[in-house]
């Protein structure tokens, strides 16, 4: 009788979820959902809810449960507003958000499959591991396990405060979002064998702020041994703080002052009062506190540039790169004109020397019309915010590390719909993700055979890298490693081809200026 009922329900309502395997993890039994030939386990707690007295504390172990916990739906994401990717639906938010999701093709715990751990971006203020673009279904079918995670963002994840510093044995505060990432990796090391994963082949992977997190984890001594390869797309944490608009806010002392200002803004004077504030009030006041990682003596004793330069990074193979038109989506709607081009740069980066930098950059990328000024500003932002970081990350790893570097440049423009807001974005920020996740089908665009072939090539490289620490393998062009003596990369357009590093004049100009700023003892040092 039961099979007939299921058949009837199928014809009435369409395909229904099919319960997958039940596995035992340290907190109890959990059951996922079968989706074709893979099983998905959604929103598994990897830490206790960071609420009440645990707000702004390092994550603690997840609480145990009795019976079988269903993992068939995504839970709330960490406190935030809006979405960083246009067109993505907002998700319910809650402080109780420290969960991860797992896509696996394993039918038992014996396979020992490589594991890819996705760290979302979103400028440390948005995003989650449950965004459809980041689902691991297509990659799991290629023989890897994909894990996506949530971590505290905004002021919930990065508030520093003198009282928070005093209450810890390591005398630091502020990097709770990074501590969440480390807690998730620790959980994975202990529990991923139950899902068929190999805890000795874990790849951390992120884009934008997620890629910055990858560079931070490589520089963090407390993350040592938790991962074995690293992929970074369009983001690194290598700029000298003295060249930023708020230099003091990147170290513990300055961030603590921001924490005191945040408390005063909310009309409270103590940590206990801060912890009693409703989360909605904290979210509303989010931008008055620190909302990014800092050099804090514990999670990050030195900034990544210093750690890598001294050879103190967690030395693993890396696959890193950026896109040809990174800044075009980020500058959409901005009124950029030739007459105010240099002044706009100075206002965007209130460091006096950027006026000189703007004029020098115009000598490399000249502009004589408003349209050219918009293109040049996009190139300026591309090289400043993304290109220089990835080039520098590759260079210092190649110089001081023993593990290989594989570098890419994505310059393929997806087939955006004509007349859409994204029509002129080109190879913009995050556009490569549809290809590396092999998720072209999520957009109803006019994808070509070349698009699908590129997605297959990039997904193959990424999963090969997770498996063996090297993207090369059968059916794809040979990708040479990037070295100090031979700075070569893989350029992705309609096809994949090897080339040198593009935009070198602009990158070298930023390298020159950053070298000056890095020597500054204080932000006001000439």
Contact 361, 388 (CB under 8 A): no
Marked catalytic residue, from 128, 130, 173, 208: 208
> Are the beta carbons of 21 and 39 closer than 8 angstroms?
yes
CATH architecture for residues 2-316: 3-Layer(aba) Sandwich (3.40)
Residues 503-518: what's their mean pLDDT? 92
208 flagged as catalytic: yes
Look up 452 and say whether it is catalytic.
no
> For all residues of the chain together, what is the average pLDDT?
91
On whether the CB atoms of residues 110 and 196 are closer than 8 A, the answer is yes
Q: Has residue 160 got a pLDDT over 90?
A: yes
Closest listed residue to residue 294, CA positions, set 148, 429, 165, 397: 165
pLDDT > 80? residue 54: yes
> What mean pLDDT do residues 265-279 have?
95
Q: Is the pLDDT of residue 3 over 50?
A: no
In this structure, what token pair is assigned to residue 89? Answer: 């639906």
- Residue from 429, 432, 439, 467 carrying the catalytic annotation: 429
Place of tokens 């090289």: 383
Q: What is the pLDDT of residue 472?
A: 98
What value does the mean pLDDT take over residues 225-240? 97
Q: How many CB atoms lie within 10 A of CB 419?
A: 6
Does the active-site annotation cover 292? no
| Residue 161: pLDDT band with limits 50, 70, 90 | very high
pLDDT per position as a tens digit, 285-305: 876 667 899 999 999 999 999
Whole-angstrom distance, CA of residue 507 vs CA of residue 392:
9
List b or e across 296-332, with b for residues whose CB sees 16 or more CB atoms inside 10 angstroms: bebbbbbbbbbbbbeebbbebbbbbbbbbbbbbbebe
Give residue 19's pLDDT band: very low, low, confident or very high (50, 70, 90).
low
Q: What is the DSSP string of 88-123?
A: PPP--B-S---EEEEEE--SSS-S-EEEEEEE--ST
DSSP state of 182: H
Percentage of the chain beyond pLDDT 90 is 81
Angle at 152 between CA 146 and CA 154, to 5 degrees: 130
pLDDT at 350: 60
Encode pLDDT of 437-493 as tens digits. 999 999 999 999 999 999 999 999 999 999 999 999 999 999 999 999 999 999 999
Between 256 and 86, the more confident residue is 256
Catalytic residue among 95, 127, 256, 326: 326
What per-residue confidence (pLDDT) applies to 438?
98
Per residue in 305-345, pLDDT tens? 999 999 999 999 999 999 999 999 999 989 999 999 888 87
401 pLDDT above the threshold of 60 = yes
Could you give the percent of the chain with pLDDT greater than 70?
93
């Amino acid at each position: 009788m039961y099979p007939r009922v299921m058949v009837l329900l199928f014809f009435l309502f369409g395909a229904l979820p099919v319960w997958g395997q039940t596995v035992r993890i340290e907190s109890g039994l959990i059951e996922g959902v079968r989706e074709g030939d893979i099983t998905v386990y959604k929103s598994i707690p990897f830490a206790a809810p960071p609420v009440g007295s645990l707000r702004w504390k390092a994550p603690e172990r997840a609480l145990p449960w009795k019976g079988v916990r269903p993992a068939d739906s995504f839970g709330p994401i960490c406190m935030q507003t809006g979405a960083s990717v246009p067109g993505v639906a907002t998700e319910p938010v809650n402080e109780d958000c420290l969960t991860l999701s797992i896509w696996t093709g394993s039918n038992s715990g014996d396979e020992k499959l490589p594991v890819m751990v996705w760290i979302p971006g979103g400028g440390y203020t948005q995003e989650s591991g449950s965004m459809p673009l980041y689902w691991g279904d297509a990659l799991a079918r290629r023989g890897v396990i994909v894990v996506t995670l949530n971590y505290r963002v905004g002021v919930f994840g990065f508030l520093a405060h003198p009282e928070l510093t005093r209450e810890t044995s390591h005398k630091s505060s502020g990097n709770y979002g990074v501590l969440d990432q480390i807690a998730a990796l620790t959980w994975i090391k202990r529990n991923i064998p139950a899902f068929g994963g190999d805890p000795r082949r874990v790849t951390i992977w992120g884009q934008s702020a997620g890629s910055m997190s990858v560079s931070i984890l490589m520089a963090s001594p407390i993350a040592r041994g938790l991962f074995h390869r690293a992929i970074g797309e369009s983001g690194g944490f290598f700029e000298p703080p003295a060249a930023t608009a708020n230099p003091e806010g990147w170290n513990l002392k300055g961030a603590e002052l921001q924490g005191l200002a945040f408390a005063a803004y909310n009309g409270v004077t103590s940590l206990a009062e801060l912890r009693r504030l409703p989360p909605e009030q904290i979210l509303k006041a989010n931008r008055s506190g620190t909302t990014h990682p800092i050099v804090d003596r514990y999670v990050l004793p030195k900034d990544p540039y210093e750690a890598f330069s001294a050879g103190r990074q967690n030395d693993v193979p890396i696959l890193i790169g950026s896109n040809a038109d990174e800044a075009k989506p980020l500058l959409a709607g901005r009124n950029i004109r030739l007459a105010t081009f240099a002044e706009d740069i100075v206002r965007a980066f209130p460091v006096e020397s950027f006026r000189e930098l703007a004029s020098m950059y115009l000598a490399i990328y000249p502009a004589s019309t408003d349209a050219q000024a918009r293109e040049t500003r996009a190139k300026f932002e591309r090289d400043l915010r993304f290109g220089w970081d990835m080039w520098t990350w590759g260079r210092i790893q190649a110089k001081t590390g023993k593990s290989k570097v594989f570098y890419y440049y994505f310059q393929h423009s997806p087939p955006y719909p004509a007349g859409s807001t994204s029509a002129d974005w080109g190879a913009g920020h995050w556009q490569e993700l549809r290809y590396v996740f092999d998720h072209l089908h999520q957009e109803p665009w006019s994808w070509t055979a070349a698009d699908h072939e590129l997605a297959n090539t990039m997904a193959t490289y990424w999963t090969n890298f997770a498996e063996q620490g090297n993207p090369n393998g059968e059916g794809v062009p040979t990708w040479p490693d990037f070295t100090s003596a031979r700075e070569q990369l893989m350029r992705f357009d309609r096809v994949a081809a090897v080339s040198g590093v593009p935009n070198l004049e602009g990158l070298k100009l930023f390298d020159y200026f950053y070298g000056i700023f890095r020597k500054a003892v204080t932000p006001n040092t000439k």
